[in-house]
A and B are shown apart, each in its own frame.
Chain A
């Protein structure tokens, strides 16, 4: 693998992460608006969701 494709891979991954997190936060915000979640539930789901996303999309070599 060349350096260019490595860099492209990282950029693609960062952009994908940002997109997924944006959608996740928007979804949680709408859900919290509809259900009046406590603060702790909102932040637990926010952080937990991000951790789960990183976990399932991580390469084995990571």
Chain B
């Protein structure tokens, strides 16, 4: 934001020009007291409540742990973004809610795509079957009257099978287990997510659909280990099919760790908000993931607040990013994250990918939606 040295430096330069008697002592006094003043202001947290400069608005982009060892110490992190962009994206989110609230026949999915800061735009992207395109187009025209909408025709195709060597956990006998490694759900496999928290409890987590016909409370979650066999690490405690997430209580001396094995840095420090994702999309900043099957991949954010109806039930609050080759069977339950110097900010889960022509991304429930609807956080 404001660099502490430059105002004093600039001031000193002006003073040098104005007075030949300007002394080093006076400069040091200005620099020292200014540094102290700026430090004090930052200690008081003035940036949190100062309005952004004209043409900018502050938005909360992430929830970050103040105390790294205390998951409940979440504080908001803000960033100043262009006001016109913010207005457009907010409007797109609001319009998209209206579209999502009506069940328009033939609509397979829809998402908000924030544009770049220079263009200050946002578009709605909707997915329809080719035979329904006209009908959906008319319905949207009535609803949105002149808004920019991208309509994409999609066809269903069956998914392909996975191959390759999976990422396994080390020979752990207990203690913390990071996400990003293979876990076993009965006769299926998935990727273990980083620790999920709610009401002071820490949970292991993965995709609910990894339990096949549906998870039930008490189902075991196991960890295949390199050279050490498979061991049970927890039992399913909460099942959330609508967001495709299970919360698993740890057993046998294992505990979920706020970290992703194979990510750099590996420690998880918090999660991104809806506008945090929009901000990253506007700046073209990529997300990353570590899946147990496909490993580490990187990709652009393609859609936020997405609704996806292709799996039968409509899923809301989805994040679309990357390409369909970034996810395969066994990667479900992995987390999409944005690395910062301090640690990882979780964007959401990766639970599915496109398998139809015309689109190419993976998707899963966004962290902010999971927090809003079920109270969990990373």
Interface positions of A (Cβ within 8 A of B): 13, 17-18, 21-22, 24-26, 28-29, 32-33, 36-40, 42-43, 46-47, 50-51, 53-54, 58, 62
Chain B residues with Cβ below 8 Å from A46 are: 34, 37-38, 41
Known A25-B41, A50-B34; contact A40-B53, beta-carbon cutoff 8 A: yes
Residues of A within 8 A of B11 (CB): 47, 51
Report the minimal beta-carbon distance from B53 to chain A, rounded to whole angstroms.
5
B36 and A21 contact, CB distance less than 8 A: yes
- What B residues does A18 contact at CB under 8 A? 33, 36
Complex CA gap A51/B31 in Å reads 9
Chain A residues near B41 (CB-CB < 8 A): 25, 28-29, 42-43, 46
User: Per-position contact with A for B32-72: 1 when CB-CB < 8 Å, else 0?
Assistant: 11101110110010110111111000000000000000000
Residues facing A in B243-297 (CB within 8 A) are none
Give the residues in chain A near B38, CB-CB below 8 Å: 43, 46
Q: A25-B41, A29-B44 given as contacts; is B51 within 8 A of A39 (CB)?
A: yes
Chain A residue at minimum C-beta to C-beta distance from B54: A38
Question: How distant is the Cα of A58 from the Cα of B47 in the complex, in angstroms?
Answer: 31
Name the residue among B1, B33, B51 with the largest chain A CB count within 10 angstroms: B33
What are 10 A-B interface contacts by the 8 Å CB criterion?
A13-B29, A17-B29, A25-B37, A29-B46, A38-B53, A43-B38, A47-B7, A51-B11, A51-B34, A54-B33
Q: Is the interface of B mostly helix, strand, loop or mixed?
A: helix
In the assembled complex, B309 has its CB within 8 A of some CB on chain A: no
Interface readout for B8-46 with A: 1 if CB under 8 Å, 0 if not? 100100000000010101100110111011101100101
Q: Is B163 an interface residue (CB 8 A)?
A: no
B103 at interface by CB-CB < 8 Å: no
Q: Which residue from chain A places its CB closest to the CB of B50 in the assembled complex?
A: A39
Partner of A38, one of B32, B34, B51: B51
Distance (whole angstroms) from the CB of B41 to the closest CB of chain A: 5
The interface size bin for chain B is 20 to 34
Query: Bound state CA distance, A54 and B47, in angstroms?
Result: 25
Complex contacts, B125 vs chain A, CB 8 Å? none
- Interface of A, secondary structure class, is helix
Which 3 residue pairs are nearest across A and B when measured between Cβ atoms? A47-B7, A39-B50, A21-B37
Picked from B1, B25, B40, the residue with its CB within 8 Å of the CB of A21 is B40
How many Cβ-Cβ contacts under 8 Å join chain A to chain B? 79
Q: B105 contacts the other chain (Cβ, under 8 Å)?
A: no
Say yes or no: is B2 at the interface (Cβ < 8 Å to chain A): yes
A39: min CB distance to chain B, Å: 5
User: Nearest Cβ in chain B — how far from A11, in angstroms?
Assistant: 13
Given contacts A51-B11, A62-B26, contact A39 B37 (CB under 8 A): no
Residue of B nearest to A57 (CB): B29
Q: Is the CB of B51 within 8 A of A36?
A: yes
Interface status of B80 (Cβ within 8 A of chain A): yes
Please tell me if the beta carbons of B30 and A43 are within 8 angstroms of each other in the complex. no
Bound Cα distance A36, B36 (Å): 23
Q: Are B25 and A62 in contact (CB under 8 A)?
A: yes
Within 8 Å CB of A24, what residues of B?
Answer: 37
In the assembly, what is the distance between CA of A32 and CA of B33, in Å? 20
Whether B30 pairs with A50 at a CB distance below 8 angstroms is yes
Q: Does A32 contact B50, Cβ atoms closer than 8 Å?
A: yes
Q: Which residues of A contact B2 (CB under 8 A)?
A: 39, 43
A54 and B29 in contact (CB under 8 A), knowing A22-B40, A46-B41, A47-B34? yes
CA distance in complex: A52, B220 (Å): 69
Contact yes or no, B50 A50, CB < 8 A: no
Q: Which residues of A contact B8 (CB under 8 A)?
A: 47
User: In the complex, what distance in Å separates the CA atom of A24 from the CA atom of B40?
Assistant: 10
4 more A-B residue pairs beyond the given contacts A38-B50, A38-B53, A43-B38, with a C-beta to C-beta distance below 8 A: A21-B33, A24-B37, A29-B44, A37-B50
Chain B residues lying within 8 Å of A29, measured Cβ to Cβ, are 41, 44, 46
Q: A52 to B221, alpha carbons, bound, how many Å? A: 66
